[in-house]
């Protein structure tokens, strides 16, 4: 996939509104959000509980498809894109609870993502080790089942997994929510590098002011009122 | 490929869950193996029975039709006899015409003709009895109505009784000669020709047993087998030749070599009131000999009795219709032995039906249990499904992976279950089969003895074994054979499909977002 220029938006939201299936007609979680996300930048989506931060992230990541308005990924309407392919190629998702497959090792979790993507890497094992190294894990970590890793280590594995197939955009939902301050800083450092050195668009949903301080732009959700 | 690898890793790393599923499938599989093995054994027994008692159709007089026709037309007794004699007999050409059918696997027939013998005394007790009876009657009559003897020779030999008696005896002799002449005009010996061993029902059923020599396997040349009575009466031994004469022309003679001597085992034969058995004057030969006799002697009164062996019992009606379409006279009818065959296999078929019912119940219960287990399994693995779907794995591939896992567990469990089922079913099936084998073996030996000669070591006569082929019933150790394994595999695939389809439906209904939210 060709890299986009830094200034061109990679993701655009146009009048995006969302309400739950069983909600009243005008009871929107958020309404008419329009915003653009560019590569090479790190974004934070902030807001109170229930403001729809995670929901918006679900919309962006293609996990939720019933919304009003339009979301464009590289000028392609997300509602017309194959979302499985979108999720296994164009975006990498990192969750607060890591969402790794617990019966697999760190290495196998990453390999599985690469296999789902259909990557034809010659030496996959070596590549995975390099990837883990880039997020601060060793070969020893790679061989362990994920449940035998600490929370921080698991989150690093989740980040490595999301990077394994070279996506253009990283979406992270409270990635440091379960981690201590030091580890949070380490993780944010990785994200920062991904955005600024590797020209990726990183979108982070967070409550943490510490995280918000380290991003390029903050997008605050204010319930049903219009956002930025 | 990675799907398979992932499925394999998942099986290995989730042993407890898969062992539980495996045990359930194993129990189902073992139950199925037992029932399938019983069904298979029952099929073998039924098949052996059907080989032993193939569906046979014979052609005979339709006396009911005949009587009805006579009654409707108020036919007199003379007319009845005349009409009866006018009914065209079945010819060999007819037999062959009817036998040329897609429904017939084999057919055979007996061809009989009546002949007299040259220097050959018939075995008959009816004449002797008749003579004796006449003498008794004469004595009685003399005593009752005759003048009482007086003086002279008559004192020593009471009255004229003796001379009177002589006169009466003369009359008797005349009667005896008349009977003998009448019999001789028809032929006192019945020469019955068979076209194969299969046709020789009296030997197969054990009515006749060879006591010396054998039934010659050559169904072409002039060989014959005679009764013990005839052999004793005429001092004939195996290897001797007998000469038969046409009843209509004494110049037409036929010479046959005796290859065997038989005795009749029926109750009729042991009836002490008769000196000779009913078959005493029955000379057994091959069809070819009778054909030659009929060809030489136009007046020979020959009769054909065909038996058609059908390929299947389902062909009975169709074959009957076909024979009728080939212009079988309305006064003939077809009879079959379906009732006998059905009776013989009835109990085995009941066992088979029971096994089938048990199999169906096992499969239904198994499928339901597997369905429930799969659903529980899917619910337990919801998180895994959510993660896989979130990282972009297609629903179909997730389903495939789950199906592969279930299939692999299923196959291993099936094989173990088949082994366990096989081992336990051998005993059950063997006990079912053992008595049948024993019966079949003794039947075979008895039939061999009936035909005479050492069949067990005579390859030339191996065809006689075909009469009761129990080869398949002998192989009782092959109860869980490839056929059963194949069926089990099908059942396994079926169960896997049931499980997989339910898994697929569940997977397609899961939203990864909801799963992950639930998890959070």
Say whether pLDDT at A51 is over 80.
yes
Determine whether the interchain pair A103/B9 forms a contact, defined as Cβ–Cβ distance below 8 Å. Answer: yes
Which of B10, B389, B519 is opposite residue A97, by nearest beta carbon? B519
For residue A98, the distance in angstroms to the closest alpha carbon of chain B comes to 10
Identify the pLDDT of residue B434: 66
- Tell me phi and psi for residue B260, to 5 degrees: -160, 160
Query: In terms of pLDDT, which residue wins out, B35 or B340?
Result: B35
Say whether pLDDT at B410 is over 90.
no
Which of A58, A88, A104 is opposite residue B513, by nearest beta carbon? A58
Alpha-carbon distances, residue B268 vs B128, B245, B272, B446 (angstroms): 19, 28, 9, 20
Alpha-carbon distances, residue B398 vs A227, B258, B402, B505, B519 (angstroms): 38, 83, 6, 12, 19
Mean pLDDT of B339-362: 80
Say whether pLDDT at B176 is over 70.
no
Closest CA to B345 of B53, B37, B39: B53
Closest CA to B465 of B51, B30, B44, B19: B51
Number of other residues whose CB lies within 10 A of the CB of residue B182: 9
Residue A203 — very low, low, confident or very high, per pLDDT cuts 50/70/90?
very high
d(CA B474, CA B90): 41
Determine whether the interchain pair B392/A64 forms a contact, defined as Cβ–Cβ distance below 8 Å. Answer: no
For residue B383, the distance in angstroms to the closest alpha carbon of chain A comes to 8
For residue B8, the distance in angstroms to the closest alpha carbon of chain A comes to 12
Determine whether the interchain pair B390/A63 forms a contact, defined as Cβ–Cβ distance below 8 Å. Answer: yes
List of chain A residues whose C-beta atoms are within 8 Å of the C-beta of residue B518: none
Residue A37 — very low, low, confident or very high, per pLDDT cuts 50/70/90?
very high
Residues in chain A: 228
Residue B284 — very low, low, confident or very high, per pLDDT cuts 50/70/90?
very high
Which of B13, B388, B389 is opposite residue A103, by nearest beta carbon? B13
Identify the pLDDT of residue A183: 80
Mean pLDDT of B97-106: 91
Q: What is the 3-state secondary structure (H, E, C) of B322-337?
A: HHHHCCCCCCEEEEEC
Whether the CB of B448 is below 8 Å from some CB of chain A: the reply is no
For residue B398, the distance in angstroms to the closest alpha carbon of chain A comes to 11
Closest CA to A152 of A124, A188, A125, A128: A188
Identify the pLDDT of residue B429: 67
Mean pLDDT of B337-341: 80
Residue B184 — very low, low, confident or very high, per pLDDT cuts 50/70/90?
low
* Residue of A82, A87, A106 to mutate when probing chain B, most B C-beta within 10 A: A87
List of chain B residues whose C-beta atoms are within 8 Å of the C-beta of residue A103: 9-10, 13-14, 384
List of chain B residues whose C-beta atoms are within 8 Å of the C-beta of residue A61: 390
Which of B9, B384, B390 is opposite residue A87, by nearest beta carbon? B390
Say whether pLDDT at B475 is over 50.
no
Classify domain A11-221 by CATH architecture: 3-Layer(aba) Sandwich (3.40)
Whether the CB of B8 is below 8 Å from some CB of chain A: the reply is no
Whether the CB of B457 is below 8 Å from some CB of chain A: the reply is no
Percent of chain A clearing pLDDT 70 (strictly above) = 94
Query: In terms of pLDDT, which residue wins out, A71 or B253?
Result: A71
Residue A144 — very low, low, confident or very high, per pLDDT cuts 50/70/90?
very high
Identify the pLDDT of residue A21: 83
Q: Where are the domains of chain A?
A: 11-221
pTM for the whole thing? 0.59
Determine whether the interchain pair B10/A103 forms a contact, defined as Cβ–Cβ distance below 8 Å. Answer: yes
Identify the pLDDT of residue B98: 92
Mean pLDDT of A1-26: 78
For chain B, the 3-state helix, strand and coil shares in percent, each to the nearest 5, are 65, 15, 20
Mean pLDDT of B62-83: 74
Mean pLDDT of A203-227: 80
DSSP string, A76-145: EEGGGS-HHHIIIIIEEEE-TT----TTSBHHHHHHHHHHHHT---TTHHHHHHHHHHHTT--HHHHHSB
**Pairs across A and B, CB distance < 8 A:** 60
Say whether pLDDT at B138 is over 50.
no
Mean pLDDT of B315-334: 89
Identify the pLDDT of residue A13: 93
The β-bridge partners of B106 are: B309
Identify the pLDDT of residue B520: 61
Average model confidence (pLDDT) across chain A: 87
Average model confidence (pLDDT) across chain B: 75
Determine whether the interchain pair B520/A97 forms a contact, defined as Cβ–Cβ distance below 8 Å. Answer: yes
Residue in A closest to B516 by C-alpha: A99
Identify the pLDDT of residue A161: 93
* B41-45, B112-116, B240-244, B399-403: segment of lowest average pLDDT: B41-45
Number of other residues whose CB lies within 10 A of the CB of residue B180: 14
Determine whether the interchain pair A99/B516 forms a contact, defined as Cβ–Cβ distance below 8 Å. Answer: yes
* A209-223, B310-324, B451-465: segment of lowest average pLDDT: B451-465
Say whether pLDDT at A43 is over 90.
yes
Identify the pLDDT of residue A72: 94
Which of B386, B392, B512 is opposite residue A116, by nearest beta carbon? B392
List of chain A residues whose C-beta atoms are within 8 Å of the C-beta of residue B392: 84-89, 113, 116-117
* A74-83, B315-324, B446-455, B464-473: segment of lowest average pLDDT: B464-473
Percent of chain B clearing pLDDT 90 (strictly above) = 11
- Tell me phi and psi for residue B424, to 5 degrees: -75, -30
Residue in B closest to A63 by C-alpha: B513
Residue in B closest to A162 by C-alpha: B391
Q: Where are the domains of chain B?
A: 2-53+343-519, 55-103+311-336
Contacts 24+ apart (CB under 8 A), B513-517: B513/A58, B513/A63, B513/A64, B514/B386, B515/B382, B515/B383, B515/B385, B515/B386, B515/B389, B516/A63, B516/A95, B516/A97, B516/A99, B516/B383, B516/B386, B516/B387, B516/B390
Which of A61, A89, A99 is opposite residue B387, by nearest beta carbon? A99
* Residue of B377, B385, B391, B399 to mutate when probing chain A, most A C-beta within 10 A: B391
Identify the pLDDT of residue B281: 87
Determine whether the interchain pair B2/A115 forms a contact, defined as Cβ–Cβ distance below 8 Å. Answer: yes
Closest CA to A197 of A9, A57, A6: A6
Mean pLDDT of B307-317: 89
Identify the pLDDT of residue B178: 55
Determine whether the interchain pair B392/A117 forms a contact, defined as Cβ–Cβ distance below 8 Å. Answer: yes
Q: Are A69 and A28 in contact (CB under 8 A)?
A: no
Residue in A closest to B520 by C-alpha: A97
Query: In terms of pLDDT, which residue wins out, B434 or B339?
Result: B339
Say whether pLDDT at A226 is over 80.
no
d(CA B483, CA B194): 40
Identify the pLDDT of residue B73: 72
Mean pLDDT of B337-351: 77
For residue B392, the distance in angstroms to the closest alpha carbon of chain A comes to 4
Mean pLDDT of B129-154: 38
* A206-220, B25-39, B183-197: segment of lowest average pLDDT: B183-197
Which pLDDT tens digit goes with each residue over B215-260?
888 778 889 999 988 898 899 999 999 999 888 888 888 899 999 9
Identify the pLDDT of residue B127: 45
Identify the pLDDT of residue B436: 61
Mean pLDDT of B310-324: 90
Percent of chain A clearing pLDDT 90 (strictly above) = 43
Identify the pLDDT of residue B137: 42
Say whether pLDDT at B483 is over 70.
yes
Query: In terms of pLDDT, which residue wins out, A61 or B460?
Result: A61
Query: In terms of pLDDT, which residue wins out, B53 or B136?
Result: B53
Residue A167, token pair as written in the block: 């996506």
Query: In terms of pLDDT, which residue wins out, A4 or B517?
Result: B517
Residue in B closest to A117 by C-alpha: B392
List of chain B residues whose C-beta atoms are within 8 Å of the C-beta of residue A84: 389, 392-394
Q: Are A190 and A42 in contact (CB under 8 A)?
A: no
Say whether pLDDT at B128 is over 50.
no
Instruction: Mention every residue, 6+ apart, whose C-beta is less than 8 A from residue B109.
Output: B92, B95, B195, B199, B287, B304, B305, B306, B307
Mean pLDDT of B474-497: 69
Say whether pLDDT at A3 is over 70.
no
Instruction: Mention every residue, 6+ apart, whose C-beta is less than 8 A from residue A107.
Output: A125, A128, A129, A132, A142, A143
Which of B2, B384, B513 is opposite residue A64, by nearest beta carbon? B513
Query: In terms of pLDDT, which residue wins out, A43 or B203?
Result: A43
Residue B173 — very low, low, confident or very high, per pLDDT cuts 50/70/90?
very low
Identify the pLDDT of residue B443: 66
List of chain A residues whose C-beta atoms are within 8 Å of the C-beta of residue B380: none
Say whether pLDDT at A12 is over 80.
yes
* Residue of A84, A90, A109, A113 to mutate when probing chain B, most B C-beta within 10 A: A84
The contact set of A with B (CB < 8 A) is 58, 61, 63-64, 84-89, 93, 95-97, 99-101, 103-104, 108, 112-113, 115-117, 161
Which residue is it, tokens 């890591």? A98
Residue B448 — very low, low, confident or very high, per pLDDT cuts 50/70/90?
low
Residue in A closest to B5 by C-alpha: A112
Mean pLDDT of B131-141: 41
Q: Is the dihedral of CA B7, B8, B12, B17 positive or negative?
A: positive
Query: In terms of pLDDT, which residue wins out, B265 or A74?
Result: A74
Whether the CB of B10 is below 8 Å from some CB of chain A: the reply is yes
Say whether pLDDT at B480 is over 90.
no
């Amino acid at each position: 996939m060709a890299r986009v220029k830094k200034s061109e938006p990679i993701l655009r939201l146009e009048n995006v509104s969302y309400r739950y299936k069983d909600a009243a007609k005008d009871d929107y979680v958020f309404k008419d959000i329009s915003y653009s996300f560019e590569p090479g930048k790190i974004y934070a989506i902030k807001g109170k509980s229930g403001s729809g931060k995670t929901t918006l992230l679900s919309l962006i990541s293609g996990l939720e498809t019933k919304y009003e308005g339009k979301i464009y990924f590289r000028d392609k309407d997300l509602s017309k894109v194959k979302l499985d392919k979108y999720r296994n190629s164009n975006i990498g998702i990192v969750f607060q609870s890591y969402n790794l497959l617990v019966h697999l090792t760190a290495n196998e979790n990453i390999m599985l993502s690469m296999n789902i993507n259909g990557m034809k890497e010659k030496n996959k094992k070596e590549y995975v080790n390099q990837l883990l190294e880039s997020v601060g894990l060793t070969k020893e970590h790679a061989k362990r089942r994920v449940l035998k890793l600490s929370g921080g280590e698991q989150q690093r594995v989740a980040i490595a997994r999301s990077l394994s197939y070279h996506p253009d955009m990283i979406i992270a939902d409270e990635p440091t929510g379960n981690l201590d301050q030091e580890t949070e800083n380490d993780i944010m450092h990785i994200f920062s590098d991904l955005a600024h050195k590797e020209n990726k668009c990183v979108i982070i949903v967070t409550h943490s002011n510490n995280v918000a301080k380290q991003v390029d732009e903050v997008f605050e959700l204010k319930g049903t009122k219009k956002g930025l | 490929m990675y799907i398979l690898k992932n499925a394999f890793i998942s099986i290995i790393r989730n042993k407890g869950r898969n062992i539980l599923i495996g045990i359930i499938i194993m129990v189902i599989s073992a139950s199925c193996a037992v029932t399938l093995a019983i069904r298979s054994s029952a099929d073998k027994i039924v098949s052996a029975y059907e080989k032993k008692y193939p569906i046979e159709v014979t052609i005979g007089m339709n006396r009911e039709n005949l009587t009805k026709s006579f009654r409707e037309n108020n036919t007199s007794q003379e007319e009845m006899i005349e009409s009866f004699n006018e009914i065209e007999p079945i010819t060999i050409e007819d037999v062959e015409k009817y036998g040329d059918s897609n429904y017939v696997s084999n057919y055979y027939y007996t061809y009989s003709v009546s002949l007299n013998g040259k220097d050959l005394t018939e075995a008959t007790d009816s004449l002797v009895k008749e003579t004796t009876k006449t003498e008794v009657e004469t004595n009685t009559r003399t005593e009752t109505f005759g003048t009482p003897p007086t003086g002279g020779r008559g004192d020593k030999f009471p009255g004229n009784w003796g001379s009177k008696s002589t006169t009466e005896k003369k009359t008797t002799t005349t009667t005896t000669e008349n009977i003998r002449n009448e019999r001789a005009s028809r032929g006192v010996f019945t020469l019955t020709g068979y076209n194969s061993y299969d046709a020789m029902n009296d030997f197969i059923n054990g009515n006749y047993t060879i006591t010396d020599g054998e039934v010659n396997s050559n169904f072409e040349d002039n060989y014959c087998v005679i009764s013990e009575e005839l052999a004793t009466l005429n001092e004939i031994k195996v290897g001797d030749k007998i000469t038969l004469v046409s009843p209509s022309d004494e110049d037409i003679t036929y010479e046959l070599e005796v290859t065997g001597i038989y005795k009749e085992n029926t109750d009729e034969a042991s009836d002490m009131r008769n000196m000779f058995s009913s078959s005493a004057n029955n000379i057994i030969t091959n069809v070819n000999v009778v054909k030659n006799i009929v060809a030489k002697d136009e007046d020979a009164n020959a009769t054909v009795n065909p038996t058609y062996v059908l390929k299947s019992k389902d062909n009975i009606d169709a074959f009957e219709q076909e024979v009728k379409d080939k212009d079988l006279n309305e006064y003939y009818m077809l009879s079959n032995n379906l009732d006998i065959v059905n009776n013989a296999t009835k109990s085995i078929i009941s066992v088979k039906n029971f096994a089938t019912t048990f199999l169906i119940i096992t499969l239904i219960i198994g499928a339901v249990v597997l369905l429930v287990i799969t659903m529980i399994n899917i619910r337990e693995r919801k998180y895994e499904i959510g993660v896989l779907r979130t990282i972009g794995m297609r629903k179909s591939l997730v389903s495939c992976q789950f199906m592969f896992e279930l299939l692999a567990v299923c196959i291993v469990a099936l094989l173990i279950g088949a082994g366990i089922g096989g081992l336990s079913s051998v005993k059950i099936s063997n006990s079912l089969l053992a008595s049948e084998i024993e019966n079949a073996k003794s039947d075979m030996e008895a039939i061999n003895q009936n035909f005479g000669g050492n069949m067990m070591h005579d390859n030339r006569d191996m065809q006689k074994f075909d009469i009761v082929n129990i080869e398949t019933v002998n192989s009782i150790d092959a109860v869980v054979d490839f056929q059963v394994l194949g069926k089990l595999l099908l059942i396994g695939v079926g169960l896997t499909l049931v499980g997989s389809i339910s898994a697929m439906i569940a997977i397609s209904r899961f939203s990864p977002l909801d799963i992950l939210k639930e998890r959070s």
